[in-house]
Amino acid sequence: MKISSNFDSGNCKVISADSHDNIQLEIRTDTNSDKFQWFHFRLTGAEGYPCRIKILNAGMAAYPSWDDYRAVASYDRISWFRVPTSYKDGVLIINHTPEYNSIFYAYFAPYTYEQHLKLISTAQHSDLCVLEIIGETIQGRDIDMITVGSPDDYKKKVWIIARQHPGETMAEWFMQGLMARLFDEDDAVTRLLLEKAVFYLVPNMNIDGGIAGNIRFNAAGVDLNRAWAEPSLKSSPEVYYVKKYMENTGVDLFLDIHGDETLPYNFVSGIEGVPAYNSRLEDLCKTFVNDWLLINPDFQDTIKYPINEPGKANLTIASKNVAQTFNCPAFTIEMPFKDNKDMPDMIFGWSPERAIKFGESVLHPIMQVVNKL
Ligand code: ZN
């Protein structure tokens, strides 16, 4: 029996793997950080054995909210299903009998760098799409941006970014769905939108962190979603280059895609506490939210983060900072690691497939506001 994690987005430390019913692991910290949460490892040689895998330091994770959480597993790295998981006295326990020699377990279905490169490389086949490298990460990897639709002064500028927090992989699954629909020239919503808007998309903001198996930080140990007030070329180049590009294009609507470790729902976090917030922005944000509620039962607006008091928003956060800088509607979009409690799926929980559909669906509320931006 062997446990390994020395691969793209792998994360775990083996404490003991002598006996299948007492496998002891720890999650290692994000790069240059003391925080941790994301795990992803491979177990081989335990086919047919009832395994009891203990993650000993789960109680000290960044978000130790493991109630109702079930880990995911995959034999083929395509289908990721949920496995029985419990949490007691700070230890997360996965009880599972592998049916094959090799099995992967993870916090959520991974979205590897290879998958990212494939997403980007496939996108360039669309005539609607232009690919640009807008800069490099801390470790010298390309930061890919895709423009969809031909830019024109009269068109609205819609910016959508994902995976500032690299372990929130559902965000890139969401982007995959959104992009596929944007490239579908037979889709009426897309056709109308591209007459009126240009889309600037950054499907993976934190490539180094993703490869390293981090939950939240980049290679310099910076939380990119707290770096928007003063992005630094040295420690947060990913934000620096995107914000610089935004200053050239302008922004009329901004979406920042995330996953939430705690709440078992899809929801948005808005810009109520931003100093620039006014009745125009309020009206646009309400139109967006109400339309999404109407067209997608996977979205709800009841259980979410507390709304900021007027003027009290944290302007280091992307959505608040962009709303304030460009006087435009902006949202942080959150999906669950667990499941959507309103519409649970016992086999897969919240899954890549559902995140893809959710991403496709967001074009409809964008269409509802685009004329008023
Ligand atoms: Zn996040």
Q: Where are the domains of the chain?
A: 2-106, 113-372
41 C-alpha to ligand 1 centroid (Å): 22
Q: What would the pLDDT profile of 183-202 be if each residue is shown by its tens digit?
A: 999 999 999 999 999 999 99
260 C-alpha to ligand 1 centroid (Å): 6
Is 334 an annotated catalytic residue? yes
Average pLDDT over residues 252-268: 98
Collapsed DSSP state (helix, strand, coil) of residue 202: strand
* DSSP strand pairing (51-55 vs 91-96): antiparallel
Which is nearest to 346 in space by CA: 105, 86, 83? 83
What was the pLDDT predicted at 142? 98
Report d(CA 216, CA 9) in Å as an integer. Answer: 13
Residue located via tokens 């372990």: 167
Asked if 168 contacts 258 with a C-beta cutoff of 8 angstroms, the reply is yes
Q: What would the pLDDT profile of 15-73 be if each residue is shown by its tens digit?
A: 999 999 999 999 999 999 999 999 999 999 999 999 999 999 999 999 999 999 999 99
Asked if 165 contacts 216 with a C-beta cutoff of 8 angstroms, the reply is yes
Q: What would the pLDDT profile of 335-370 be if each residue is shown by its tens digit?
A: 999 999 999 999 999 999 999 999 999 999 999 999
Which tokens in the block code for residue 45? 């040689």
Which tokens in the block code for residue 113? 């760098």
218 C-alpha to ligand 1 centroid (Å): 12
Q: What would the pLDDT profile of 71-125 be if each residue is shown by its tens digit?
A: 999 999 999 999 999 999 999 999 999 999 999 999 999 999 999 999 999 998 9
Ordered DSSP codes for 210-258: HHHT-SS--TTS--GGG-SSS--TTT-HHHHHHHHHHHHH--SEEEEEE
| Residue 121 backbone phi and psi in degrees, to 5 | -70, -35
pTM tops 0.95, yes or no: yes
Instruction: Write the CA distances from 77 to 8, 207, 252, integer angstroms.
Output: 12, 20, 38
Residue located via tokens 């928003």: 313
Instruction: Write the CA distances from 128 to 179, 182, 238, integer angstroms.
Output: 11, 9, 25
Report d(CA 39, CA 192) in Å as an integer. Answer: 41
259 C-alpha to ligand 1 centroid (Å): 5
Asked if 359 contacts 176 with a C-beta cutoff of 8 angstroms, the reply is yes
| Residue of 26, 261, 334, 360 marked catalytic | 334
Report d(CA 65, CA 337) in Å as an integer. Answer: 11
19 C-alpha to ligand 1 centroid (Å): 36
What was the pLDDT predicted at 311? 96
Average pLDDT over residues 233-257: 98
Indicate the DSSP class of residue 302: S
Note the CATH architecture for domain 113-372: 3-Layer(aba) Sandwich (3.40)
Average pLDDT over residues 332-336: 98
Asked if 148 contacts 242 with a C-beta cutoff of 8 angstroms, the reply is no
What was the pLDDT predicted at 137? 98
Average pLDDT over residues 10-17: 98
Q: What would the pLDDT profile of 140-187 be if each residue is shown by its tens digit?
A: 999 999 999 999 999 999 999 999 999 999 999 999 999 999 999 999
165 C-alpha to ligand 1 centroid (Å): 5
65 C-alpha to ligand 1 centroid (Å): 15
Which tokens in the block code for residue 294? 């109407």
197 C-alpha to ligand 1 centroid (Å): 26
The residues, ordered by sequence, that sit 6+ positions from 118 with a Cβ below 8 Å of its Cβ are none
What class, spelled out in words, does domain 2-106 have in CATH?
A: mainly beta
Per residue, the 3-state secondary structure of 121-140, as one string, reads: HHHCCCCCEEEEEEEECCCC
